[in-house]
Structure 1
Amino acid sequence: MSGTLWLVATPIGNLGDLQPRAIEVLAAVELVCCEDTRRTGLLLHHSGVKAKRMAVCNEHTEHDLIDRVLGVLGSGGDVAVVSDAGTPGVSDPGERLVRAAIDASCNVSSVPGPSAAVMAVTISGLDTSRFVFEGFLPRKGRERATRLAELACEPRTSVLYEAPHRALRTLSDLCEACGPNRDIVVTRELTKMHETVVRGTLGSIDIGEPRGEYVFVLAGVPIDNTPATDQDVQRLLDEAIADGMSKRDAATAVAQQTGRSRRDVYQLTI
């Protein structure tokens, strides 16, 4: 029988959030795959765990680690995957190992726990009945412009991650794409001593000097049930294309925003 690949959630700040079952799994597995052996080593030491073996698993090494992980699983041993903070596989390494384990008919399970995205959306005060996780936006070019245009017409609450050195630029880009009146909640240092939650609109919010990793929770576009006219659709298409989107991408985004069929919208671009 093969071993189990465990996705183990670790604290996003407060070390007291590490679950007892996570400690049990980390102590029992044959191999712990982590982004930073020093950081995870400190967490394990704090929890009284001595890992049998550790391996670096980040965006550069995850693919090369697959054969080693499958070897341990194939011999009946268990493997744990952890990220520096939060749930592995969510904007962190782990997804490729999970896919490889599934393809090799190995067991995959998890020890659920902290997630910055879930914590941010639940304390945001925005609509939590439907929300979408966007992770990190593309850094530049057409991909970024397309994603921003999609967010501008997304009716669900959107959750984004951002690094400190790009936080102000992303807020500015979101304001330009979504308008200054869209509500947003900006969080950082969640569960830590200096946990910060700032609420406001894209046009007025002030997050001060950017520090730490951010989670943005963006309100969805208000739903207008008034049917969009061809003139409304044409105006939205012109704006999207002027922002650098292709006719095909613009038609998809505007169709989502207006509720019109993509085929009908695309015809207006021709």
Structure 2
Amino acid sequence: MYSGKGVGRLYVVATPIGNLKDITLRALEVLKGCDFIACEDTRQTRKLLKHYGIEGKELLSYHEHNEEQAAKEIVERLKGGESCALVSDAGTPCISDPGYRVVKLAREEGIEVTPVPGPSAVTAALSASGLPTDRFLFVGFLPRKEGQLKEALKEAVELPYTVVAYESPHRLEKTLTLLSELYPDATVALFKEITKVNEAFLKGTPEELLKELRERGMVKGEFVLLFPPGRERVEEPEEVLRKLLESGMKLKEAAKEAARITGRPKGELYKLGLKLLGK
């Protein structure tokens, strides 16, 4: 069904992020029909395949440490007419997971790449957070080095749209502690173990989150941090406009967005922007 003469096809297949029932019928069809599966961890993928009775499928290891070489091997097989399903341990490949290199190389070689949509911790967290979703920024995992982490947190707190980040359990307390020192009054939303048995949602200041996490013994697991738009804490039109311009927006777009946020006339804000830019 998926392979044949000529060039094969690469399927980018989203898999469950926790609950094994969160997989699409189409994803199962592709996993059954493809010639081989490129996966981040063969052990994790075997669990999924076993759960759905998919047997005898060839699994090729593809992860951050062998991406370059594995991508070449996969593309050569695709050029030979085979079809491949690319999966990560959980969620959608390439979203803070391996996959970019093989997709890029396949595209460059003229091979068709087909997305098979499904679970993603980013969109799952956004959809259930109650935060604005018309504009958001996903920044992946937060930096490990303190200086870079400070800059990332400053940006996340002040940008005029929702910011989504991943954080590992062994760094979460450090990140929230640093955030409480820098921005003690900032509001943060936190998802733990989305779709899993111990799923939880918390919202409050960094100190409030730390206290609740410790009291409830919730510092282990997978976490998604969400920062509400900075506009919820900014009132002055000039300040709103300045932050939009500093985020990289062009003046025309910044004036339009500032008008939407503040309710002030776009023309007035455009003129204010010219002054801020020294024009």
What's the TM-score once normalised by structure 2's chain length? Answer: 0.79
Is 2:149 the counterpart of 1:152?
A: no
- 1:213 partner letter: E
How many aligned residue pairs are there?
A: 246
Question: Per-residue deviation at 1:149?
Answer: 2.6
1:1-270 mapped onto 2 (5 Å cutoff): 1-177=6-182, 179-205=183-209, 206-208=212-214, 209=217, 210-221=219-230, 222=232, 223-228=234-239, 252=246
User: Could you tell me whether the CA contact under 8 Å between 2:62 and 2:98 is conserved in 1?
Assistant: yes
Amino acid at match of 2:185: N
TM-score of the aligned structures, taking structure 1 as reference length: 0.82
Residue 67 of structure 1 deviates from its aligned partner by: 1.6
Give the gaps of 5 or more residues in structure 2: 1-5, 259-271
Offset of 1:99 from its aligned partner? 0.6
Show CA shifts across 1:145-199 (max 9, x none). 332232232111111101100011111223334x222222111111111111112
Closer/same/farther in 2, CA of residues 261 and 97 from structure 1, 3 Å limit: farther
Residues 133-153 of structure 1, C-alpha deviations (whole Å, 9 max, x = no match): 111011105433332232232
RMSD value over aligned CA atoms?
A: 2.8
Amino acid at match of 2:39: C
- Please report how far the alpha carbon of residue 84 of structure 1 lies from its aligned counterpart in structure 2 after TM superposition: 0.8
> Partners of 2:41 and 2:64 in 1: how far apart?
12
Specify every segment of 5 or more residues in structure 1 that has no aligned partner in the other structure, as ranges. 237-250
Distance in 1 between residues matched to 2:84 and 2:142, nearest whole Å: 31
The alpha-carbon distance between structure 1 residues 263 and 153, as it changes in their structure 2 partners (threshold 3 A), is farther
Q: Distance in 2 between matches of 1:199 and 1:51?
A: 45
Measured after TM superposition, the shift of residue 119 of structure 1 is 0.7
Give CA deviations for 1:12-45 in whole Å, capped at 9, x if unaligned.
Answer: 1111111111111011111211111111101001
Runs of 4+ with >4 A deviation: 251-265
Percentage of matched positions with identical amino acids: 38
